Amino acid sequence: MSPGRWCARLVCLVAFAGAANAYAGAVEDGEAGLQALGRGDNDEAIRLFTHALKIGGLSRDDREFAYFNRGKAYLGKGDKVHGLADLKEALRLKPDDADAKGALEDASAAPEPSIVIEQPAPPTGPGGRWGMLADMAGHYYWYQVAGAPNTHVAVSHVQWVVPQQTLGITLKTKSGTAQAGEYQLDPATGKLLLAAVTGNTVSYGTADASVALVTTYSYFKTTAIHDTLTRAADGSIHEHEQKFIDGTWRDSGDVTFIEVSQETLEAEGFLKKHK
């Protein structure tokens, strides 16, 4: 498309009495818009063609030409939504415009640009590593209370909610979920932030993780809790919990996590069988 085409289409507009200045402005916007489009200044081209369309009084062909070129400018800056809309409007105004039809077909067939969402990388400091928590992701564990090693009353499942950003942990019995929690990585500090729901109560805190140890400080209601997960040589994971009561830390429980397969859990009724 050349400036001559635009001028040829608009030259008749200046003949209307009392509107010469407005129509001349449309001609100038059209010429400037084509020049901007030619040098790759898509934003300026869009502005100029939009102004030409707003002036009003343009012929059907002139409007089609403005929409067509504005559509090309939108596509040039990667705005496929507005670009396709303008090309469709150009074809509506002039269905036999081969240039607009070809541009619309090409734009419609072009693949959508891929959108890459960058996840914050785990900091290298010891407070920001996922450590053994990352290794637990995607696995199920028997939740065995100390003193009852052969009694399977609950199972824990660890999984990524958002890889390297949010890790979810649930504790389930045969009757349903007993506890649900999430670790979230705080990019600003490199700390792991913890929130867990047990019944109607929310506990919250922070955690540090390494290859064989996770240390969590949290609050349940008004009670401070110090919790550690350690991994033994056999791969089992042991949890030791202390509560701060009456000015001192008191042991409040030991739990062992032993990895178990999904098939075993389905057979024992902790999970629904997949058909």
Angle 135-137-140 from CA coordinates, rounded to 5°: 110
Same domain, residue pair 23 and 104: yes
Q: Which helix H or strand E contains 143, and what residues bound it?
A: strand 139-145
Counting the structural domains of the chain, the total is 2
Determine contact, residues 191/92, Cβ cutoff 8 Å: no
**Beta pairing partners, 242:** 226, 251
Q: Are residue 261 and residue 143 in the same domain, yes or no? A: yes
Do 99 and 162 sit in the same domain of this protein? no
Same domain, 100 and 160: no
Report if residue 140 sits inside a domain. yes
Q: Closest Cα partner for 157 from 174, 180, 175?
A: 180
DSSP 8-state assignment for residue 249: E
Q: Which helix (H) or strand (E) holds 138?
A: none
Among residues 51, 18, 57, the alpha carbon closest in space to that of 36 is found at: 51
Tokens of 255: 């739990």
Are 269 and 260 in contact by the 8 Å Cβ rule? The answer is no
Within 10 angstroms of residue 96's Cβ, the number of other Cβ atoms is 7
The pair of structure tokens assigned to 150 is: 């052969």
Q: Provide the CATH number for the domain around residue 22.
A: 1.25.40.10
The C-alpha atoms of residue 260 and residue 14 are separated, in whole angstroms, by 83
Lookup: tokens for 69: 């070129």
Q: Do 144 and 224 belong to one domain? A: yes
Domain for residue 168, yes or no?
A: yes
Please indicate, yes or no, whether residues 143 and 88 belong to a single structural domain of this protein: no
The residue range of the domain holding 253 is: 132-267
226 and 105, same structural domain?
no
pLDDT, one tens digit for every residue, the chain (275 residues) = 444 444 444 443 333 344 455 555 666 777 788 888 888 899 998 988 888 888 766 778 888 888 999 999 999 998 888 999 999 999 999 999 898 899 888 888 866 554 444 444 444 444 457 888 988 899 988 888 776 656 677 888 999 999 888 999 988 887 878 889 999 988 877 789 999 888 888 888 898 888 888 888 888 878 899 999 898 877 778 999 999 888 888 888 888 888 888 888 888 887 776 55
Taking alpha carbons only, the member of 138, 150, 141, 127 closest to residue 232 is 141
What tokens does 259 get? 């990895």
